[in-house]
Amino acid sequence: MIYDFNDYNFHVWFVFFLTLFLIGLNLIIPKFKLKKLKTLQEIDKD
Amino acid sequence: MSKILKKFITFYHKLGSYPWFYKFSGIAIPYVAFISLIPLFIGLGWGIFYSPTDYKQGDVYRIIYMHVPAASVSQSIYYTMTIAAIVSMIWRMKMAGIFIKSMAPIGASFTFLALISGSIWGQPTWGTWWIWDARLTSTLVLFIFYIAIISLYSSFSEKKSADQAVSILTLVGAVNLPIIKKSVDWWNTLHQPSSIKLTESSTISLEMLYPLLLSIIGFYLIVLLSGLMAMRAEIAKREINKEWFKSL
C-alpha cells in the first residue's frame, strides 16, 4: 500500500495523475466541441 | 447463427449513417460511461493501494497499472484505424474517415502516456529515462505516426481529400505494428518480454494480474467512450448545416 509521496512513490502518483488528466482531456474536449456547435446552431436558429 | 450474422450486417450498415450513429451514440454514451468507470477505478485502486509490493522493485512497479493498459490501447487503436483506412480506401465509407480523424488524438494521448510512464518507470529500474531500445523506438514511431495523421488531416480544407490522405498514411504506419509487438523477441532489448500471454501461463503473480486485467478492461472501455464522444462531435461539425441536424 502506498499513501505517501516519499522515494519512488512520487513516480507512481505522477503517472496516476497524468493518466487521469489525459483520460479527462479525451472526454472533455469532444464534449466542449459539441457544446460549442450546439450553441452555434441555436444562434443560427434564432 | 445466420440471424445473428444478418443482424450484425444490418448494424454494420447502419453505422455508416450519420443521423443513425449520432442518435445511437447519444443513447450509448451514458451507459458506456457507467460501465467503463467501474473496472477502471477498481483496477487502479486495487493495483495502487492493495496489490502486494514487488520484492525487487518495491512500490514503483505499480506504474504497471497505467503503463501496460496505455501501451495496449495505443496499439489497438492503431489496428482499428488500419481497418477503417482499408474500409475508407475500398468502399469510400465516410464514417471510416470520421473514425480515423476522431481516434488519432485518443491514440496519440495513450501512446504519450505509455512513453512517459515507461520513461518514469525506467529511471529507477533501468537507471535511465530513455534508451534507443527496439520497443521504445518503435513506440515512439507510433506516436510520430499519430501526430502526422492529426497534422495531415488539419492541413486539408476539403474533408473527402483529407479522409483519403490520412487513410493512406494510416496504412503506411501499420507496418510498424508487428514491429512493436515482436521487437522484444526479434532484438535483444532492455524492455522485458510480455508478462501476460493468451496461449501460455502468465509470468506475473495472480494478485498483481487481476487488478491489471481490470485496469486494461477499464482503459479499453474509456477508449470506446472517448471514441463515441469524439465521433459524435466530428459528425456534428461536418453536418451542422444539414437538415437532419437542424431538426434535432
The pLDDT tens digits for B115-138 are 999 999 998 888 889 989 889 999
Contact B60, B121 (CB under 8 A): yes
Q: What is the pLDDT of residues B136-171, one digit of tens each?
A: 999 999 999 999 999 999 999 888 899 999 999 999
d(C-alpha A22, C-alpha A14), whole Å: 12
Q: Which pLDDT tens digits describe chain A residue by residue (46 residues)?
A: 455 555 668 889 999 999 999 999 999 999 999 898 888 887 877 6
CB of B142 closer than 8 Å to CB of B180: yes
Give the pLDDT mean for B210-227. Answer: 96
Residues of B with CB below 8 A from A30's CB? 102, 226, 229-230, 232-233
Q: How far is A3 from chain B (nearest CA, A)?
A: 8
Rounded to an integer, the average pLDDT of B98-106 is 96
The interface pTM score, or ipTM, of the predicted complex is 0.89
The chain A residue lying nearest B58, using CA atoms, is A8
- pTM, whole model, 2 decimals? 0.91
Closest-CA distance of chain A to residue B193, Å: 22
* Residue A34: Cβ within 10 Å count: 18
Sequence ranges of the domains in chain B: 19-54+62-193+210-246
Q: How confident is the model at residue B232 (pLDDT cuts 50, 70, 90)?
A: very high
Report the SS3 class of residue B6.
helix
Residues of A in contact with B229 (CB under 8 A): 27, 30-31, 34
B35 DSSP β-pair partners:
none
What is the C-alpha to C-alpha distance for residues B215 and B40, in angstroms, rounded to an integer?
5
Q: pLDDT averaged over chain B?
A: 90
- Whether residue A31 and residue B229 make contact (CB cut-off 8 A), yes or no, is yes
